[in-house]
Structures are given as structure tokens and as C-alpha cells.
Structure 1
């Protein structure tokens, strides 16, 4: 019998049961502790799409790997999560009340914000200032106020409205001075261009305060007279004194509204942003440890990089920048719709593969919807390729940012902005094809990363 396997009569090797996965037996006798834990976490484990969700819960409960090895006889939290995932069947019971969806917002409010991004452009119609100082000041303000807004949103997410207002009160004037100084250095003299750039810096700081504190309607009311005057200027000549009055009137109104909001006592309403769905402690109670200043730096660089990309588009065709600015309202709404749909898919999917397939399809659907929105705004005199590719870059960048992948998207957009800037300065080859290559590469990379990120169940928790 040497070298052969003995089998009982009528038995075949393929009839034997599979050897079970080995698990270290705890040092004490009694009921299986993994079964007890599975019974205690039954509802959560049954609704989990992937074992990583269970591992995240175990780690949040403070279970260390040493404790898990001692109590449950497995190597670490991931091994225990896999055991629980295998022992509990998949089921997704409907909640008694509709689940909370922090990403459900109205289309009208997003369209209002998109219009607010575009209305300040009418100020350039009223003022005939040199573009270079204005662009330099705008890029500076764009970067600074992106970082400032992130810091204020972070304080609001922690429930400390007083700290959020304080950061805005200190940060906005600093950004005004910085933007004005940059514009003055670029212009080389304290002329009309430098004065207009200083007013632009004041507006950007004040509008950041109002947008963070969800005072969009107040900002709209302050801008409407200036926008109406600019439209009138396009139809009929307007005296210089009237132009100046309209510009200063709107600027003073926006500044006064911002000063009132940031200095008043009371609750600062929760702002809109990537932190709005985080649980907050007692509202307006001082937080023991606030956010680090360095955490807002990537958002400032992100604002500089995306601003540079839009600036290059504006230098090539002003209408491209106008359309992109107006499209930010629909873009924001579609991003919120995507996040909301992904949460629904997380509750309804039964396997990780099905969830990844659903989220990938959802991303492609909403990205296509945004690009169709841009196509609807096209006129016969503009090339669609740069507009659509740059729109895809900005939309996927905002999506990655909403998932907290700010370092990744900042690095990608910064390389794209640097490549396009170097190509424009060196004139090494056709700027048009360089632009298309940079946009296409950036958009494809970010879309692939977004698909991978959306397919992870833990990214939505």
C-alpha cells in the first residue's frame, strides 16, 4: 500500500469535505466568542458590503490586534472581519425611517451658487483695467480663499461656529492685503489697475465669508445692481461716474454684509462642503483641539492649480472661462447627486463586485451629464474639445476632493498647470495640442482614480 491512499469502500477523494480554515483556539473553553460577537453585531455585519466595513467598526471600538488574538483566536481585525462576514448571511432590511442623506440638496440652491460665481465677471465690463494685475491678484485670492474656506468649513464640521467666524475674520483681511500687494507688484505703479485689483481682493474675501456662512441670497442682492449696470453698459454708453458708483456700491454692500455676519454673535449655520456630513459635537461649544493650519494648505494649492488651468483657458478664449464658471452650479448639484446615489447603492448592493459596478456606472453617467451641460452652452465660435476636457478635469478633481483625496488631486492638477504654463512660456510646439494632451491625460487619470475610490465601500462611511 506504500505510495497509495487508502479509501473506504465506495468512497472517492472528491467526496470528502474541504478542510476548514484553521483558526487558533482560545485558551479557555466555552461558547465560541466569534459566534457571540457575530450575534451581537448581526445587523451591521449582515448589511456590510465588504469585510473592510466590519474591520473599520472593530477598530473604532478600540479592539487591538493583541486583544483580538487573545479573545477570538485570529490574527488581526481584518481576519476577524472576514470570519464575521462568512458566518452572517447578507441581508439589507429597510429602515423604519428614511436614512439620513447628507448629500441631498436642491438644484435651485446649486444654480444660485453657480450664478454667484459668474456675476462678479460683470465688474470687468464696467472697469477698463489692465488684465495682468487683475489676473495675478485673482490667482492669489483664489488660492488664499480656498484654504481659508476649508479651515472655516472644518471648524463648522466640528460644531464650533465661533471659531469658524474668528478664522474668517482674521483670514479674509490677510488675503485682501496679499492679493492687493501682488497686483501692485505686477502693475508696477499705484494706478487704476492696481486700485481695481485691490477692490477685487476685498470682494473675494467678503464673498468667501458669505458663501461659507450660507448667505448666498444676501450676496446675490448685493451684486444685482452692478450686474444690471454692466448689461446696460453693453447696450448703451454709461458715464464713468456711474460705472464707478455701481462698482463701489456693490463692493461696499458685499463688504458690509460680510462684516455683519462674521462679527455678530449667534450660531453660524452649517456651510456646504466636503465636511458637512461629519457628526458635530455640541454646537458652538469650543473645541479642545482645533484643526491644524497645515491641513488647509493643500486646498490653497488646489485652488491655485485649478485657477491656473482656468486662466489659460480664459487667455485662449474668454467664453470658455465664462461657460465653465456658469457650469459650476450644475456641476456641484451633479456631484451631490452622485454621492447620494452611491449611498443608496451601498445599502442595496449585496456583493463588493456589484457595488463597484454600480458606482462606476453612476460616475460615468453623471460625468456625461455634466459634459452634456457644457455642450448645451456652446456657441458656433468656440472649439468644444478644450472646454469638454477641462470641464472633465475640474469635475473629477472636485469629486476626488469631496472624498478627501485632496493631496492626490492637488498633485495631479498642479502637474497639469505646470506643464501647460511651461508649454505656453517656451512655445515648444502647438499650444492647442499641448492643451488637449494635458487635459486628456489629467481627466483620464482622475476619472480612473475616482472609479477606484468610489468602488470602496469604506470610502462612503
Structure 2
């Protein structure tokens, strides 16, 4: 599993249209006519009355009632209001233009921006633009790339198969095999660091500054590798030095793989992982230790060299960026990486077939289809946003799409779990309770990723961290904690993502 944890670069959104202001008359018109010569009188004289009065000029036409400023505003904002699916979108536009409640009360006679937005929404007929034509190419063109990412997430697991005889320790801790603790500590540290680093780099990519993204990765990846190595060495017990050395290589790989995945070099990373295919014969035959070590070093070296080549644009002086997004904004993404990573680890350290290594492999392989289904939910929601005319219809359609995507992911996860169990040498068939526990972990993970993709990462991170802490404190409460986390995340998703404004 790579350190990127399946983040995607954000896209630039359209800016809200500016509200034009009507010009006001600077000076009042002169209503006094100039005096003509016949109006002048010589002092001491009196003008004789006219025998015939001049006919009155035609009276000015009645201008009628003054135009309603709300009608003028509705006419100016007709295009935007007609495409809105909820009055809150109109209120957001009014507030972004700087309309205060005092100005709205004085000019339009409404209490605030929300009341004005509701009136505008009611006056303008709904006219949504036609859905954009789907891009040329096969419908499932993006699925291939997502499956490729899922594959490169899972292939590093073969490194543990190759290194297993080299890492075997005499004494384990906490009921785990020897050497497991430094490996897990180093992996979790790498996931947290690289998740936050990926968010920062993806933010630069969303701003259209690829050299600055490379600069961020070049600056942040080495400290992440050092942090993972330091944590693994700090928790290693006597006799676990080989595991700590492997954890150092693992930290270096996570840093390099994060850079390649963020910058879209999945195929290059797949080529660097080809030497790990030598682990397949190791399932049946005992390979010499020099061959195992050579395959591991070859893959690690290839990944590191490729990452160094990809990050060369970050060395330019112009790649420093314009200050960049605040670093604190990436912290919740790191916390989500910690919570989700701990949930996966708790699924992997179990003693049952599905809750063991097979569960981790199935979860990791499922991240490819999970990523594609996240894109499908986003795409279907945007399509419904263009075609539906009421917020109620959109909520119903978004909820249906959410259930369909989540059900599809759990179906794929079930198939992968069964396939891994059948192909794993000597593994018995999974029991139904163990399979349900795995599906609960998958539900929490997919919903958390969905919330993260829509910016609600802090809530997802909090729920996952609480569930992981409960499992750590009381391992017997694992399924209950995971099920509770899945239920809370489902409620958060339904509350946040069925609103039309969440997709604008």
C-alpha cells in the first residue's frame, strides 16, 4: 500500500459571476426653466393681464409605478438563478458579491440574503443546461488506470513474502511474530506522513503548478523516510535488527512510490515492482537468501531512481511556488491516513483466514475499483445536478447512486476476499462472521475516502481514529467498533453529500 492513500488532485472550479450594479444618477435634473425676455419687468411698471391665455402644453405622461429593484436583480442574474438547484446557491452568490443584510433591507426590502435568494429562486423559472456529452472513448476507460493503481498498491506485499525468512525472530511481542512491531510502526508512520504530503502536492497540482508539486515532494519525501526509519529503530527489540533494516527500506519505498503516484507515473512504478514477482515461486519452494535479498534491492533501487528522475523539476529555483497552501490544511489528511491504516492493520493481525494476511491483500487490491467508484459517484452526481429541477429529486438520486456505488464496492471486496482465500496456499474457506467483519472495514474505508474526496476529511479522520483506538484498547470489540464507525460515516455521508451545494 502506498503512502498516497488514493488521493486525487482537486480540479479548478468556475468562479461565481459578479453581480452588476445599476448606475445611479449623479446630479438631479434642472426643473427650473430659464427666464425669457418677456418675463423681465422694469422696476416700477406693472404688466397688463393677457386678454387671451396661452393654451396649456400637453401634460407629461404618467410614468407609472417605479420598477421593482428585485425584478431588475432577477433579470441580471437570470442565467445563474435558472441553473441553481437550491436557494442556498443564490445566497452564496449574493454574499460573495458583498451584499450585506443592511443593504438588502434598504434596497430590496428583504430581511437577509437567504430571504432574498428564496424570492429570486421563486421568480426565475428553472432552466438547467443540457448535460455535457461524455468524453470520447470507452465507458470504462478510467477503470483500467484505477485497477493499475490497485495493483501497484498490492504488489509491495510480495516483498514481505520474499523477506519472511530473513525477518523471522525468536521472540515476538503482543502475540505477534518476531519483527512485526517495528515493521508496523514504520509502515503507519509512513502512511501518516505521506498522506499529508500527498495532499499538499495534489493542492499544487490543482493550482496548475506541477514544478511546485515536485518541489513539495522533493522537500517532504526524505524527512518522511527518515521518520519511518527512526520510529522502526526506536521500537525494535533486541534480535529484531533485520526487521528494522527492512523497515528502513520500506520507508524509503513509501516515499518514492508516493512521488510517482502523485505525479501520475503508475506504469513506471509497476515496472519497478516487477522483480517482486520472484516471490511467486517462494510460495512453494525455498529460495536462496542471496536471491531474495537481490530481488528486494533491485525493486527498491529502481523505485528510488525513477522517483529521483521524476522529481528533477523540483530542483529549479522557479519551483519554489508562491508560498503554497497552509501546511495545517494537510494535517487532517495525515490523521485520516493514521486512522484508516490502523483499521487495516487490525484486520490484518487477526488469527482467522479472512482477518489475516488475506484480508489485507483483498482490501489493498480493492482500492483500484474503490477509486473508480468514487469517480463514478462524483460523475453521476454532477450529471443529476444538471438535469434535475428540485433539491428533493437530487437528494433521492444522490442517495440511490451512493447505495449503488457502495454495494458495488462491497461486491468486489467479497469476490477478492474469496479469490485470495482460494488461491492462498493452505488457507481454508472464510467463515461468514469473518467475512462480515471484513465488509465492515471496507465500508468504513470507502465511506471515509468518499468524505475525504469532498473535503469532509476531519470528520472521517475522527471516526476512524476513535474506532482504531477502541480496537487497540479492547481487541474483542473490533467488529462492534468497526460497525459503529461504518454507521456513523454512513450518516455523515447521507447528511453532507445528498445536498446539491456539496457538489458545486
Aligned to 2:394, which of 325, 350, 355?
A: 355
Aligned to 1:290, which of 310, 316, 324?
A: 324
Aligned to 1:49, which of 47, 69, 85?
A: 85
Question: Which residue in 2 is equivalent to 1:404?
Answer: 455
User: 1:99–1:57: structure 2 CA closer, same or farther, 3 Å change rule?
Assistant: farther
Question: Per the alignment, in what secondary structure is the counterpart of residue 452 of structure 1?
Answer: helix
- 1:297, 1:174 → 2: CA distance? 16
TM-score, with structure 1 as normaliser: 0.84
* Structure whose alpha-carbon radius of gyration is higher: 2
Alignment check: 8 A CA contact 2:86 2:500 kept: yes
Alignment check: 8 A CA contact 1:104 1:337 kept: no
> What number of residue pairs does the alignment pair up?
408
Kindly state the Cα deviation for residue 52 of structure 1 after the two structures are TM-superposed: 0.5
Question: Which residue in 2 is equivalent to 1:151?
Answer: 200
Alignment check: 8 A CA contact 1:104 1:336 kept: no
How is 1:17-56 mapped onto 2 (pairs within 5 angstroms)?
Answer: 30-56=66-92
Write out per-residue CA displacement over residues 276-318 of structure 1, whole angstroms, 9 at most, x where no aligned residue: xxxxxxxx88754421111111111111111111111000111
Question: Which residue in 2 is equivalent to 1:329?
Answer: 368
How is 1:57-456 mapped onto 2 (pairs within 5 angstroms)?
Answer: 57-94=93-130, 98=133, 106-128=142-164, 129=167, 130-188=179-237, 191-226=241-276, 228-264=277-313, 288-316=322-350, 317-379=356-418, 380-382=429-431, 383-424=434-475, 431=476, 434-456=477-499
Question: Which residue in 2 is equivalent to 1:277?
Answer: none
Question: Per the alignment, in what secondary structure is the counterpart of residue 417 of structure 2?
Answer: coil
Write out per-residue CA displacement over residues 336-369 of structure 1, whole angstroms, 9 at most, x where no aligned residue: 1011111111111111111111111111111111
- 1:351, 1:105 → 2: CA distance? 32
- 1:296, 1:266 → 2: CA distance? 23
Write out per-residue CA displacement over residues 137-161 of structure 1, whole angstroms, 9 at most, x where no aligned residue: 0011011110110111111112222
Decide which moves more: 125-134 or 138-147. Answer: 125-134
Alignment check: 8 A CA contact 1:105 1:333 kept: no
- 1:70, 1:166 → 2: CA distance? 51
- 2:411, 2:254 → 1: CA distance? 30
- 2:199, 2:485 → 1: CA distance? 24
Q: Indicate the RMSD between aligned Cα atoms, in angstroms.
A: 2.3
